[in-house]
Amino acid sequence: MIFNSANKKFFLNIIIVCVIFILDRVSKEYIINLSEDSSGSELFSSSFLNILLVWNEGIAFGLLSFGDKYIYNFITVIIALVITIIFVMTLNSHGIKRFSFLLILGGALGNLYDRIYFQAVPDFIDFYIGELHWFIFNVADIFISSGVVILILFEIFSKKQKYKND
């Protein structure tokens, strides 16, 4: 009985990561194909959102974008190692913490795939208010950021609860 429960949880975890990865891949492929079919990189524009394809060769939100392929490859290896650590942390956690790591893992795998396949990550969501623009991001980044925010909130509230109980 325990084996069946563990198997179900394991497969549910794999499904969560796969769904995030597939959502990310489908959205990026759609935008890449749409961009190839249109004359410019801006695909949609409104008063608070632009959809435009930007190729990110750095890490999160375009940070550490260097033209050197050796640095790019080194950063990619570091990212793969971090993903491995996140995978192990996922296996060693449970509940909301595990769910947060699954969100991060699914998004990180999507971006790692792009780094390896395209040698850059396609970002396309440009959210802004007035002249204040956020970094251009993609669906994988949404899941990674959501997982990190949930982890932070979990840690804050679990520490608060611990202090109340002491």
Active site residue 126: no
- Residue found under tokens 């990619």: 76
Q: CA 17, 23, 29, 31: dihedral to nearest 10 degrees? A: -140
Please tell me which residue in 24, 114, 123, 126 is annotated as part of the active site.
123
Please tell me which residue in 24, 114, 126, 141 is annotated as part of the active site.
141
Calpha distance 20→145 (Å, rounded): 13
Active site residue 141: yes
163-to-58, 95, 97, 166 alpha-carbon distances in Å:
40, 21, 19, 5
Residues classed as catalytic: 123, 141
